[in-house]
Amino acid sequence: MKADRRSSIWLNAALASLQSVGARYGLGLAIIIAWQIAAAQAGSVFFPTPLEIVVRSGELWFSGPPSHFFLSEGVFKDVLPSLMRLLGGWALAVVVGGSLGVLVGRSRVVSDIIDPALQFLRAIPGPALIPIFIILLGTEATMRVSLIAFGSVWPILLNTIEGVRTVDPVQIDTARSFQLPFMARMRRIVLPAAMPKIMAGMRVSLSLSVILMVVSELVASTNGIGYRILNAQMMLLLTDMWCGMLLLALLGYGLNATFLQVERRVLAWHRGARQRDDA
Tell me the closest approach of the beta carbon of residue 100 to other proteins, in angstroms. Answer: 23
Half-sphere exposure of 203 (CA within 13 A, CB side): 17
For other proteins, give the closer residue by CB, 14 or 266. Answer: 266
Q: What does the alpha-carbon distance between residue 201 and residue 159 come to, in Å, rounded to a whole number?
A: 6
Alpha-carbon distance values, 89 to 37, 80, 123, 201, 219 (Å)? 40, 14, 19, 15, 17
Q: How far is the CB of 168 from other proteins (least distance, A)?
A: 5
CB of 171 to other proteins, least distance (A): 7
**DSSP label at 127?**
G
- We find the least distance from the C-beta atom of residue 268 to other proteins, in angstroms, to be 9
Q: Smallest distance, Å, CB 181 to other proteins?
A: 6
Q: List, in order, residues 6 or more apart from 85 with CB less than 8 Å away.
A: 141, 144, 145, 148, 213, 216, 224
Taking residues 180 to 219 in sequence order and writing x for each that binds other proteins by CB under 8 A, - otherwise, the string is: xx--x---xx--xx-x------------------------
Q: Compare residues 31 and 184 and give the one whose CB is closer to other proteins.
A: 184
Q: Name 169's Cβ contacts closer than 8 Å, sequence gap at least 6.
A: none
174 binds other proteins (CB under 8 A): yes
Q: Is 69 helix (H, G, I), strand (E, B) or coil?
A: coil
Backbone angles phi, psi at 64, to 5 degrees: -80, 175
Site for other proteins in 240-269 (CB under 8 A): 269
Binding site for other proteins (CB under 8 A): 168, 170-171, 173-174, 176-181, 184, 188-189, 192-193, 195, 269-270, 272-273, 276-277
